[in-house]
């Protein structure tokens, strides 16, 4: 039996037809702008909602939830849920869902795209053609790093980290990992310090928690090889960006490629953006049409289930 029509606030326009299915069942208040709703607007619109469909840019904290007496379910259009105070939600019997699995391969593809682009100096090479600096074939220009046979260190061997490892095997890379993950005979688990010291490439796939906040500080970056390249497609605050800039300017590490920053986007005058040997792209790890539409489907499925009083297909479990 279907639940009565409920009011839902959806904080962004989503690709694909999934929101049409939500509109067929419930009243939908959709935020139409490219920029997410400001916190005050989010709080005001969520106050009368029973269902909330958020993205990673929406801060849903205890203060906001305190003024949402009718809210029963929050569906986050993301794998991570660090933008939501899940403990405050659980205390109010509000269930929280996320969208795992469907963006794994897309994000792993982007990780390897960034790795290859940084290793082979693709941005500099592309700019040279556009700037008219391509004079002829030159033996000493744009010399990058070899990827085949190199050592890749993966920080967090979950779904995405494991997918990155599978790609690395195609390049005959030695794969080390640290942090959570099942591992296998093909990869070797080592302490973080050792991973940093032995890896030619280090890629970040751990969740953002109190323990991983600025995990890559000046000390951690100082343990990396001078030629090493750091890739982050997880969450921006895992890296201390000031320390990263200092390390790149000093030539302490070879380069970095970021799909995520802190904040997002960086202000136009942020010194990070003029840092040498750095690639920054606008959080597009899951940006394939297939992945983003499937994320929308999962997010809507979670919301519909919660409003029906059914278990969420993809519910965030809260540790007691």
Active site (annotated) includes residue 235: yes
Is the separation of the CB atoms in 278 and 272 below 8 Å?
A: yes
The one catalytic residue among 235, 245, 292, 314: 235
Enumerate long-range contacts of 179-187, CB under 8 Å, 24 or more apart: 179/155, 179/206, 180/156, 180/206, 181/154, 181/156, 181/157, 182/157, 183/157, 187/154, 187/157
Query: What tokens does 104 get?
Result: 């794994």
Query: Of these residues, 12, 72, 283, 314, which one is catalytic?
Result: 283
Helix (H, G, I), strand (E, B) or coil at 12: coil
Which of the following is catalytic: 66, 219, 242, 264?
264
Q: Percent helix, strand, coil in the chain (nearest 5)?
A: 35, 15, 50
CA–CA gap between residue 279 and residue 99 (Å, rounded): 27
Pair 228, 199: CB distance under 8 Å: yes
Is residue 314 part of the annotated active site? The answer reads no
Burial class (CB in 10 A: 0-12, 13-18, 19+), 205: buried
Gap between the Cα atoms of 320 and 310, Å rounded = 22
Q: Is 27 a catalytic residue?
A: no
Residues with catalytic function: 235, 264, 283
């Amino acid at each position: 039996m279907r639940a009565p029509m409920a009011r839902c606030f959806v904080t962004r326009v989503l690709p694909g037809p999934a929101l049409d299915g939500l509109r067929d069942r419930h009243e939908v208040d959709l935020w139409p702008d490219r920029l997410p709703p400001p916190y005050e607007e989010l709080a005001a619109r969520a106050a009368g909602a029973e269902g909330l469909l958020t993205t990673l840019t929406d801060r849903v904290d205890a203060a906001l939830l305190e003024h949402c007496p009718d809210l029963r379910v929050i569906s986050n259009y993301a794998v991570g849920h660090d933008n939501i105070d899940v403990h405050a939600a659980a205390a109010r019997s509000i269930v929280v869902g996320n969208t795992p699995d469907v963006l794994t391969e897309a994000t792993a593809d982007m990780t390897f795209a960034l790795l290859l682009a940084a290793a082979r100096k693709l941005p500099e090479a592309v700019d040279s053609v556009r700037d008219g600096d391509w004079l002829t074939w030159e033996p000493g220009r744009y010399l990058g790093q070899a990827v085949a046979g190199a050592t890749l260190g993966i920080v967090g061997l979950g779904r995405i980290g494991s997918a990155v490892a599978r790609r690395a095997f195609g390049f005959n890379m030695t794969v080390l990992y640290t942090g959570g993950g099942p591992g296998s005979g093909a990869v070797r688990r080592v302490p973080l310090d050792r991973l940093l010291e032995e890896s030619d490439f280090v890629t970040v796939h751990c969740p953002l928690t109190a323990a991983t906040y600025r995990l890559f500080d000046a000390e951690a970056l100082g343990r990396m090889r001078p030629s090493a390249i750091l890739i982050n497609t997880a969450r921006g605050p895992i890296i201390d960006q000031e320390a990263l800039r200092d390390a790149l300017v000093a030539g302490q590490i070879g380069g970095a490629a970021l799909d995520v920053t802190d904040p997002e986007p960086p202000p136009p005058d942020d010194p990070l953006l003029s840092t040498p040997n750095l690639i920054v792209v606008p959080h597009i790890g899951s940006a394939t049409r297939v992945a983003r539409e499937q994320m929308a489907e999962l997010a809507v499925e979670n919301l519909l289930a919660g409003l029906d009083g059914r278990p969420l297909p993809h519910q965030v479990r809260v540790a007691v």
